[in-house]
């Protein structure tokens, strides 16, 4: 792979959509939600260093400009990271990198950074569209799902309470009323406000924020009627692999080591044949996670 001239089509950015018109000879790897807000660990660099691909897509919230304690540290970490990326690109291990905007690293913020480092072959966009036979559409997913703690969470909580306390003649009418309100979406606004606060509140550690569950419903809806074979998103910080009509919805877990949860440093690999699967980069390449959690 190294030292061979690139046969890849250039990435074309149109209306903030990065279009890849055909699958490159090498792979496309997608990772998401590293939420870098300060220095990164050696382990992170090891996992990141194990990625080999023609295109690396960082599907949003790679950096976190909201919850960092110290903007200076974040700036130096980000600058170092772009230097590392530049070296990676020069070595041929990765040919180009696309940063997608997330709710914690908006397009304008990313572009501010990219203007500072002024690197070729590092792009920013709102989403990626892989046009080859409508293979895949990639975006962060915050616009489709809202924030953690939105109405769906409240709804599922009420559902759970109904199962456990539904026979209680005193609690039942209360649950019934709450059910009605939540179905009508009246609690969603409160949920979204709480969720945005939770996302941006600097005093809450990221490990706690990661425990917050964002609903998958919006992404499921986004997959309905889609012509792409795959819809790939991040934002939820949990692995999802589910078929919706003709589209397989894949959601990435956060590319970082959480305090307690889950396997770590997982990305999605798209091969030149159009095969798509999860891969754990800390366990160095052969370890493959074939099927994610069904939701």
Supply angle C-alpha 218, 18, 11, rounded to 5. Answer: 150
Q: What is the edge-to-edge ordering of all strands in the sheet holding 240-244? A: 12-14, 17-20, 127-130, 136-139, 230-233, 247-251, 240-244
Q: Of 102 and 191, which has the nearer Cβ to Mn ion?
A: 102
> What minimum distance in Å lies between the beta carbon of 100 and Mn ion?
10
> What minimum distance in Å lies between the beta carbon of 142 and Mn ion?
5
> What minimum distance in Å lies between the beta carbon of 84 and Mn ion?
23
Q: Of 62 and 82, which has the nearer Cβ to Mn ion?
A: 62
Q: Give kind and range of the element (H or E) at residue 98.
A: strand 94-100
What CA–CA distance (Å, rounded) separates 295 from 182? 21
Q: Give kind and range of the element (H or E) at residue 128.
A: strand 127-130
């969720």: which residue's tokens? 195
Supply angle C-alpha 278, 248, 238, rounded to 5. Answer: 50
> What minimum distance in Å lies between the beta carbon of 39 and Mn ion?
21
> What minimum distance in Å lies between the beta carbon of 166 and Mn ion?
34
Q: Are 250 and 240 in contact (CB under 8 A)?
A: yes
Contact footprint for Mn ion (CB under 5 A)? 61, 102-103, 142, 235
Helical spans, DSSP H, in the chain: 42-49, 71-91, 107-117, 142-145, 151-165, 171-183, 188-200, 206-211, 217-223
42 contacts: CB under 8 Å, gap ≥ 6: none
> What minimum distance in Å lies between the beta carbon of 31 and Mn ion?
13
Q: Of 113 and 139, which has the nearer Cβ to Mn ion?
A: 139
Q: Of 54 and 101, which has the nearer Cβ to Mn ion?
A: 101
> What minimum distance in Å lies between the beta carbon of 145 and Mn ion?
9
Q: Which residue is nearest to Mn ion (CB)?
A: 235
Pairing outcome for strands 17-20 and 127-130: parallel
Q: Of 130 and 236, which has the nearer Cβ to Mn ion?
A: 236
Q: Of 210 and 241, which has the nearer Cβ to Mn ion?
A: 210
Q: Of 235 and 256, which has the nearer Cβ to Mn ion?
A: 235
Q: Are 245 and 223 in contact (CB under 8 A)?
A: yes
> What minimum distance in Å lies between the beta carbon of 219 and Mn ion?
12
First to last CA, the chain: 37
Q: Give Cα 273 distance to the centre of its chain.
A: 23
Q: Of 142 and 256, which has the nearer Cβ to Mn ion?
A: 142
């Amino acid at each position: 792979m190294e030292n061979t001239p690139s046969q890849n089509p250039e990435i074309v950015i149109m209306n903030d959509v990065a279009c890849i018109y055909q699958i490159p000879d090498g792979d496309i790897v997608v990772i998401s939600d590293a939420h870098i807000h300060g220095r990164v660990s050696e382990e992170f660099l090891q996992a990141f260093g194990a990625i080999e691909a023609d295109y690396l897509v960082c599907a949003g919230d790679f950096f976190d400009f909201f919850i960092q304690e110290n903007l200076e540290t974040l700036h130096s970490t980000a600058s170092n990271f772009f230097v590392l990326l530049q070296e990676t690109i020069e070595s041929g291990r990765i040919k180009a990198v696309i940063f997608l905007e997330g709710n914690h690293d908006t397009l304008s913020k990313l572009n501010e950074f990219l203007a500072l480092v002024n690197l070729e072959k590092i792009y920013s966009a709102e989403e990626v569209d892989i046009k080859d036979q409508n293979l895949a559409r990639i975006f962060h997913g915050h616009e489709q799902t809202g924030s953690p703690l939105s109405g769906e969470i409240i709804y599922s909580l009420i559902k759970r309470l109904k199962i456990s306390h539904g026979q209680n003649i005193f609690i039942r009418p209360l649950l019934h009323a709450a059910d009605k309100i939540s179905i009508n979406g009246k609690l969603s606004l409160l949920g979204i406000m709480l969720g945005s606060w939770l996302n941006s509140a600097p005093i809450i550690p990221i490990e706690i924020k990661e425990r917050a569950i964002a609903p998958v419903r919006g992404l499921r809806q986004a997959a309905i009627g889609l012509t792409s074979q795959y819809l790939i998103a991040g934002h939820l910080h949990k692995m999802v692999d589910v078929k919706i009509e003709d589209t397989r919805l894949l959601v990435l877990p956060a590319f970082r080591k959480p305090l307690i949860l889950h396997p770590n440093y997982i990305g999605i690999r798209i091969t030149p044949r159009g095969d798509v699967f999860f891969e754990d980069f800390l366990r160095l390449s052969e370890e493959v996670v074939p099927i994610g959690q069904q939701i």
